[in-house]
Copies of this chain bind each other. A is one copy, B any other.
Amino acid sequence: MSNNTNNTITTKCLACKDASGLMMRHTFQRRAIGPADVHISISYSGICHSDIHTGKGEWGPMVYPLCVGHEILGTVVEVGSTVTKFAVGDRAGVGCFTDSCRTCEECVAGDENYCSGPGGNHLTYGSKQTEELHPGGGVTQGGYSSDIVVDENYVIKVPEKMHVAATAPLLCAGVTCYSPFRHFGVKAGMTLGVAGLGGLGHMAVKIGKAMGCTVVVMTRSEHKKESAFALGASKVIVTTDDDQMAEAAKSLDMIYDSIAFKHDVKQYLGLLKTSGTMIMVGGVPDVLGVSSFDLLPRRLSIVGSMIGGIRETQEMIDFCAEHDIVSDIELVPATPEAVDVAWERTINADVKYRFVIDTKATL
């Protein structure tokens, strides 16, 4: 950290140089710390597939250089005059958004992830906000960086024992499981199916098991069986095996569907018990291929969920701390070359199960 004359914070980062998504070293200014702000020196930053979609402009045009990353773990190095929740030296996390309107129905309910105020919440990166909050263009810049300044109400307290690289992915992947599990009523004794064993799916297995569920992993690949059992699954269904699918019919209370590409949702509905719920968290633009006739006769639900609110994220971190849950990760140095490779491998689903950038040590 070094402060310039305006007290803005000079921040080193890895940034996408253009829509190729390739990384470059870059330096920019964070705002000077305000009364309610916490200045965090970033230790680790997870790589989420959303970073890649956004960085490459696949979800809309971006201004470059753009620093992404929204699974941020670090240490508080300075606090504003009115900050009460954090002190210097505290471990802290930041997830997918760093502010919101605070007045809409959703924010008041603690669902800032669904903020319906003007422009919605302030996404951690690539979001057009004010120059005052985000100097140098008014675009939010993410966690592949040395420092971040965030209002304390949007910062998560992380227990000291969790100050490890494998905690970073919880800030997005972890809460993307935890939030719908709580909201849609995952409970001990249930049989929980997990479709897709990637960054989200592997967290769903761990969190679902810790919530007392019997976890059943569904995968197209026979070779993922062993990994699924290692994560805590009690059973694996190979979805391309008709016999296994038939045998597993009507056996699951809920399914956590983290598959992020077009897939046969109807096939999974057959695995749900009567009154079962299919939780979708993978944004897939294709229509579901399901009719009301597929839902009515067994009172099935198809629901969507997106990350989680601040209170839920804190709950999730505390829950994971209590149950010794972290992500399975591969740590990579904060060099353009290493992150370029990690992105390529993420695109190819060649990671168990999340890359984390060793920001502090190598940026």
| Residues of A participating in the B interface, judged by any CB pair closer than 8 Å | 105-106, 111, 114, 116, 180, 183, 250, 273-275, 280-306
Q: Could you tell me the distance between the alpha carbons of A280 and B295 in the complex, rounded to whole angstroms?
A: 8
- Knowing A114-B274, A116-B274, A299-B183, the reply to whether A304 touches B287 (Cβ < 8 A) is no
Q: Could you tell me the distance between the alpha carbons of A295 and B303 in the complex, rounded to whole angstroms?
A: 7
Residue in chain B with minimal CB distance to A300: B304
Minimum C-beta distance from A250 to chain B (A): 7
Q: Could you tell me the distance between the alpha carbons of A295 and B277 in the complex, rounded to whole angstroms?
A: 14
Q: Could you tell me the distance between the alpha carbons of A288 and B275 in the complex, rounded to whole angstroms?
A: 19
Contacting A296 at CB < 8 Å: which of B116, B183, B286, B304?
B304
Q: Could you tell me the distance between the alpha carbons of A295 and B287 in the complex, rounded to whole angstroms?
A: 11
Q: Could you tell me the distance between the alpha carbons of A289 and B290 in the complex, rounded to whole angstroms?
A: 8
Is there contact, CB below 8 Å, between A306 and B299?
yes
Among A111, A287, A289, which residue has the most Cβ atoms of chain B within 10 A? A287
A-B contact pairs, 6 of them (CB 8 A): A105-B273, A280-B295, A281-B296, A288-B291, A292-B304, A300-B304
**Pairs of residues from A and B, 7 with the lowest C-beta to C-beta distance, nearest first:** A295-B304, A296-B304, A301-B303, A280-B292, A114-B274, A296-B306, A284-B292
Oligomeric state, in copies: 2
Q: List, in ascending order, chain B residues with CB within 8 A of A306's CB.
A: 296-297, 299
Q: List, in ascending order, chain B residues with CB within 8 A of A292's CB.
A: 280, 282-284, 288, 304
Query: Interface SS of chain A: helix, strand, loop or mixed?
Result: mixed
Minimum C-beta distance from A116 to chain B (A): 6
Minimum C-beta distance from A274 to chain B (A): 5
Q: Could you tell me the distance between the alpha carbons of A302 and B304 in the complex, rounded to whole angstroms?
A: 9
Is there contact, CB below 8 Å, between B304 and A299?
yes
Among A180, A289, A296, A300, which residue has the most Cβ atoms of chain B within 10 A? A296
Q: Could you tell me the distance between the alpha carbons of A275 and B296 in the complex, rounded to whole angstroms?
A: 20
Given contacts A105-B273, A287-B290, 18 further A-B contacts (CB under 8 A): A111-B274, A111-B299, A114-B274, A116-B274, A183-B275, A280-B292, A281-B296, A283-B293, A285-B293, A287-B287, A287-B289, A288-B291, A295-B303, A295-B304, A296-B306, A297-B306, A299-B304, A301-B301
Is there contact, CB below 8 Å, between A283 and B296?
yes
Q: List, in ascending order, chain B residues with CB within 8 A of A287's CB.
A: 287-291
Q: List, in ascending order, chain B residues with CB within 8 A of A280's CB.
A: 292, 295-296
Among A280, A288, A289, A292, which residue has the most Cβ atoms of chain B within 10 A? A292
- Knowing A111-B275, A275-B114, the reply to whether A291 touches B299 (Cβ < 8 A) is no
Minimum C-beta distance from A7 to chain B (A): 36
